Structure 1
Amino acid sequence: MISTIIVGGLILGVIYSLVALGYSLVYGILKFINFAHGDVYMVGAFVGLYIASTFTASPWILIPLTAVVTGLLGFLIEKLAYKPLRHASRLNSMITAIAVGTILQGVVLKTAGPQTRGFPSLFPEGSINLGFVQISLMQLWLLVIVAVLLAVLYWLVMKTNFGISMRAASENINQLNLVGINSNQVISLTFVIGAALGGVAGVLAGSYFTAIFPYMGATGGIKAFVAAIIGGIGNLPGAVVGGLIMGISEVVFAAYFPSYRDAVAFLLLILILLYRPQGLFGEKGEERV
């Protein structure tokens, strides 16, 4: 029983991790929270449903196509909504992010309707008994896909010139242009990567729960944001660990208090803000008087 709950929490946790990475990628460079990111996750689920019902339900085609579409959406959001406000106050950027999320939600409500939609299962049925736990083939494939995505992201950030530029931008973005690096390009590609990961998370969530709805970006986005806070906003490994903590905590809490399943996110947020506001892997900022 406990092992089954833990596996379910891991699956939910890796989905939250993908969304939380989008929050941390953007915050690490621009130091603001992209509150529209949860709705990009929701749009990814509906894009995946459209592709599955119109073209193909093969995950090896559907997932990359969804990543491309949501990556392009992230690029457009950054160029049209955030770039003009790059030197404005953070309050202006936050309000804009909330407005962008509301627009995305409104577009999906207008085109797809408010009702819950069924989502096809993209992976084969069946299960594997590992002795101490039984895991379904779908769960196994989800873990493998997320592990591959995390490995690719690690390679991109740590082993490529673009990754060096991203890390430099997180230290001081104003210095990039002085050394010949196009900061606008770095920011745009960061939004593309974050949005693509969010879109893939939406597809994986839809396939796992076999249902999607236009308001899933609000609940899922808040929980992924809490996961990013737990790990330390802006810290990529922290976002992954925070997502796992969030997912396992939610499933364990739901097993004993099902009516208060969503409350665990706010409980964890309160605890982390009280006892370690910089997050598990974050560093304390300097206080300025």
Structure 2
Amino acid sequence: MDWFLQQLINGLALGAIYALIALGYTMVYGVLRFINFAHSDVLMLGAFAAYYLAPLVAPLLGATTIPSAIAVIVLSAAICAVIGMTIEYLAYRPLRKRPRLTVLITAIGVSLFIEYTGQHEKVFGAATKSFPTLLPKTEIILGGLRCSSNDLVVVGLTAVLLVAMWFIVQRTKIGMAMRAVSFNEQAASLMGVNANAIISFTFAIGSALAAIGGIFYSMRAPGIEPLMGVQPGLRAFIAAVLGGIGNLPGAALGGLVLGLLETFFGGMPGLSNYRDAIAFALLILILLFRPAGLLGKVQTEKV
């Protein structure tokens, strides 16, 4: 029972990170109906933004303090929000009326451009860098169970951001405009909605979430490097599909389910080397038996 509860705690923390990244995927897909494969590289840029900002903020607010961590996270999220809007404006907006395959190939090209530009020695370099300690870390021990204070922060912040995203989409005017653009961009424009501004806002929010997810992922990882976003990005994409891409609660559910499965199978003798295979096998099964995801709705295409 102790092993089960310990893996449950670890899985919830990892799943919360996947859910946070998957929220960015699902928001962009919900409005534009395409997968932004550069999302995982915005995650990497968020981690590097925090890496360079932490030493600058520490003399002002103190090292490893809560105000310093909040400042680093907010500034990194803002930087990535601007990067996300820039990517949308330069790469995706000119192709908005083109076939989806064209946009998909462009997204992969943007992803590769960011990754290999980051590996240049005058940018980030290819060497792995040790991520700074942002929050004071304490171990909470209850019986035979151990839990890190950072894991509690990740789970709590993910829950808060999920509620905030749901409130923005469902209870605000800009959320109503996002849903209108998602349903019919042309009709929304005729009703006075600035579709370009709404899409830019969506990319900004999604990129900010990716940055926060990248920071929390880096706090658990041994180091950061320009290709670090590939694996968590793929897993978050699987989580979004698993829960129902375009569905905010579905992205959170998919992230938690995937994190729990990876942790439980990773903790079993003889199965720890197959955690990646398990994740992709789960994706195949979902696409075969429930293509819309756990919380997604099947949509009939009319000819």
Normalized against structure 2, the TM-score is what? 0.91
* Cα-to-partner distance string for 1:216-256 (whole Å, 9 max, x where unaligned): 21111111100010011111110110011111111112112
Q: Return the offset for 1:46.
A: 1.1
Moved more, 128-137 or 183-192: 128-137
- Residues 200-279 of structure 1 correspond to what in structure 2 (within 5 A)? 200-256=212-268, 257-279=271-293
SS at 1:176 equivalent: helix
Gaps of 5+ in 1: none
RMSD: 1.6
Q: Return the offset for 1:213.
A: 2.1
* Cα-to-partner distance string for 1:135-174 (whole Å, 9 max, x where unaligned): 2211112222222222222221122111111122222122
Paired position in structure 1 for 2:188: 176
Give every structure 1 segment of 4 or more consecutive aligned residues whose post-TM-superposition deviation is greater than 6 Å.
none
* Cα-to-partner distance string for 1:74-124 (whole Å, 9 max, x where unaligned): 000000000000000111100100011111111211122222211122222
Q: Is the 8 A contact 1:138 1:208 kept in 2?
A: no
CA distance in 2, matches of 1:163, 1:84: 24
Q: Return the offset for 1:133.
A: 4.1
Q: Which of 151, 167, 181 does residue 139 from structure 1 map onto?
A: 151
Moved more, 88-97 or 18-27: 18-27
Aligned residues: 289
Give the aligned residue type for 1:84: P
- Residues 32-181 of structure 1 correspond to what in structure 2 (within 5 A)? 32-56=34-58, 58-110=68-120, 111-130=123-142, 133-181=145-193
Normalized against structure 1, the TM-score is what? 0.95
Q: Return the offset for 1:264.
A: 1.9
SS at 2:97 equivalent: coil
Give the aligned residue type for 2:230: A
Give the aligned residue type for 1:7: I
* Cα-to-partner distance string for 1:169-217 (whole Å, 9 max, x where unaligned): 2221221111111111110000000000001100111112252222121
Q: Is the 8 A contact 2:162 2:249 kept in 1?
A: no
Paired position in structure 2 for 1:194: 206
CA distance in 1, matches of 2:300, 2:167: 31
Q: Is the 8 A contact 1:9 1:249 kept in 2?
A: yes
Give the aligned residue type for 1:30: L
Q: Is the 8 A contact 2:28 2:202 kept in 1?
A: yes
SS at 2:140 equivalent: strand
Identity among equivalent positions (%) equals 45
CA distance in 1, matches of 2:133, 2:84: 26
Give the aligned residue type for 1:70: C
Q: Is the 8 A contact 1:109 1:214 kept in 2?
A: yes
Q: Is the 8 A contact 2:30 2:246 kept in 1?
A: yes
Gaps of 5+ in 2: none
Q: Is the 8 A contact 2:19 2:158 kept in 1?
A: no
CA distance in 1, matches of 2:222, 2:50: 12
